[in-house]
Structures are given as C-alpha cells and as structure tokens.
Amino acid sequence: MAKLEIKKAEKPITNKRKKSRWKEFRDNAELSALMLPGMILLLIFAYIPMFGIIIAFKDYRNNLGIFKSKWVGLDNFKFFFTSQDAWRIGRNTVGYGLLFIILGLIAAVLVAILLYEVRNRAALKFYQTSMILPHFLSWVIIGYITYILLEPDMGIFNKIIQAFGGKGLQWYSEPKYWVFILPIVNLWKTVGLKSIMYYAALMGIDEQLYEAAQLDGAGRFKQILYITIPSLVPLMVILTILDVGHIIKGDFGLFYTIPRDVGLLYPTTDIIDTYVYRGLRTGDDIGITTAVGLFQSVVGLLMVVGTNLVVKKISPENSLF
C-alpha cells in the first residue's frame, strides 16, 4: 500500500514539471526564436554532412556516386595506418597540439595577471586592444606578414642577420626552423583573446581577499600564488578540456597558409587537416581522406570525454560535465 501511495504521489509532480517546462518555453518564445538561425546552420553544416561518413568505408568513384561505389569496409583505414604518412602527420598533429595547449595556457595566464596589475586605464585599453587585434586577422594576412619577415632574399629577418655580418637563412627550405616558427605565430595570434578570458575571471575576485593578504604580510608574488592562480583554476581546467579535443585537429589555416604548402617542409608542418585537404583537392583518395577525417573526429571526442572523466575523479567541481 505504501508503494502504491508513493507512485500515485509521483505522477502529479512529473506532470507539473512537464507543464512548467512547457510554460517556461512559451514564456521565452522570443529567446527560443533567436536560437533558430544558429540551430539551422548547425544542422545544415554539421549534422546533415555526417551522412558522408559512409564514404570512409567505400572505394569512392565520382562516376558511381556514394551508393554504387564498392564497399571496402576498413580497408581505407588499414591503408592509411600502414602508409609512411601516418606516423609523420600523427606525430606533428599531436605534438603541436600538446605544445600549443601548454604554451597557450602559460602565456594567457601570465598576460592576464600582468594586465590585472596595470592600474592606468588608458594603458590597459591600449595593451588589450593591441593583443587582441591579431585574433581578428585572417591566416592569409598573417601568412603574407610572415613571408615578408622570412622571405629568403628580401626578408626583414635575413636583412637583419646580414647587417650583423651573418648569412641569410633559407627559411622555406629547412623544416627544422618551423618547429619554432609555427608555435610563435600561433601564440601571437591566440594569446590575446585567451588572456582576456582569464582577465575577466580575475575581475570577479573579491578585493577583500587581497586586502586580508596584505594585512597578513603577503607580498604581490604570494598574493598571485595563493589567491590569483587558484581563482583561475576552474576556468583553466574547462578551457584545457576543450582544447584537448583539438589536439588531434590542428588549425588548417596555420599549417597550410604560413608554410605556404611547401613540400620540403612537410616533415615538420604536415598535419591531418592539410593531408586530408590535399587528398580531397586532387580527388584521388577521397575514401582514405574521409576515413582519416572520421578517425580524427572520433579520437577528438574520446579525448574530451576521457579528460573530463579524469578531472571529475580528481576535482568534480571543476569538470565540464
């Protein structure tokens, strides 16, 4: 009897919840309508194209189309993973991804703390604007700027080297230089926006914490160490989890435009995205490149979920979901 009474009592609560949700949706109809354009674009450009995943399991031919092309199962995946390109592009993609996360996190937090210490509002606005401006420049423009600096004959860097009696470097012929060039260019473009996110988090810290620390004799460095950085940890964890999903997916604009797709530089500049693009552009290995793209997406998803689970075990309050 007690069980029946409990079940009867639960039904009105469920119905009430459903009604309240419908009422909430109805009351916010205008806000829901504002979401529609974004949801439609997401559906068209993100979900409907998923139908093309089937190409990864077929020997795709343009004259036959998707349905009539021969089904080959996992052969496209086997061909890629046993090829000479798999190790090179896998190493570059993951290596640069990890390097960008570490450098980006350290630089963004450091810049945000430095900005927080600036008390002159005019100077603060100037620094913020100058650092965030590169984010709004396209990779094509940044590619031309890089080329002006590194051009073998008339490049600014080579002119400076020659002015000090040195010999100009062949930047676009030596892969070893790009292990340093690409991280520097990426950091210059992205650190401004990331630092603004951390700076916004710093603005929410209670000033009384710093005042109490000063009364206890803590200097500026200790205040940063024991108040500022711990306050940024939740945001640092969330942004890092999101960035982990992009380890396997490099920035195509950076790796294609900056090195100018020079074949000699492939050992240190070729990643999965540029490899897939070249395959689709030539049209010879569409099945293989689709398989690589599918592998990239699945691994990215698993890395985000896995990283979040690890964070949830260590510090549940800082997990993303």
Encoding tokens for residue 166? 């040195």
- 61, part of any domain: no
**DSSP 8-state assignment for residue 270:** -
pLDDT band at 102 (very low <50, low <70, confident <90, very high): very high
Count the domains in the chain: 2
Q: Is residue 62 part of a domain?
A: no
CA distance 226 to 127: 26
Contact 193, 132 (CB under 8 A): yes
Q: Is 175 domain-assigned?
A: yes
The answer to whether position 284 is within a domain reads: yes
Residue 91 has pLDDT above 50, yes or no: yes
- The answer to whether position 64 is within a domain reads no
Q: Are residues 162 and 45 in the same domain?
A: no
Residue 46 sits in the same domain as residue 92: no
**70-71 and 58-59 strand pairing:** antiparallel
* Cut 0.85: pTM above it: no
Same domain as 159, residue 15: no
CATH of the domain at 312: 1.10.3720.10
pLDDT of residue 70: 87
How far from chain centre, in Å, is Cα 284?
29
- Is residue 255 located within the same domain as residue 121? yes
CB contact at 8 A, 162 and 141: no
Q: Are 80 and 44 within one domain?
A: no
67 found inside a domain: no
Q: Tell me the average pLDDT across 193-208.
A: 89
Two tokens, residue 312: 């949830």
Average pLDDT over residues 28-36: 82
Q: How confident is the model at residue 81 (pLDDT cuts 50, 70, 90)?
A: confident
3 state DSSP class of 58: strand
Give yes or no: residues 78 and 51 share one domain.
Answer: no
Which pLDDT value is given to residue 4? 45
Across the range 28-49, mean pLDDT stands at 86
Answer yes or no: do 45 and 111 share one domain: no
Nearest of 302, 321, 290 to residue 80 by alpha carbon: 290
| Residue 68 located in a structural domain | no
pLDDT, residue 18, reads 52
Q: Are residues 159 and 199 in the same domain?
A: yes
Neighbours of 97 (CB within 10 A): 22
Mean pLDDT of 287-316: 83
Q: Are residues 82 and 9 part of one domain?
A: no
Percent of residues, the chain, with pLDDT higher than 90:
27
Domain extent, residue 150, equals 74-318
Name which of 24-28, 67-71, 89-93, 105-109 the model is least confident about: 24-28
Does some domain include residue 63?
A: no
Residues 6+ apart with CB under 8 A from 36: none
Supply 159's token pair: 């002119």
Separation CA 150–CA 135 (nearest Å): 21
- Is the confidence at residue 67, as pLDDT, over 50? yes
Same domain flag for 49 and 126: no
Same domain as 166, residue 24: no
Q: Let me know whether 5 and 140 are in one domain.
A: no
Count of CB atoms within 10 A of residue 29's CB? 9
- Between CA 143 and CA 260 the distance in angstroms is 8
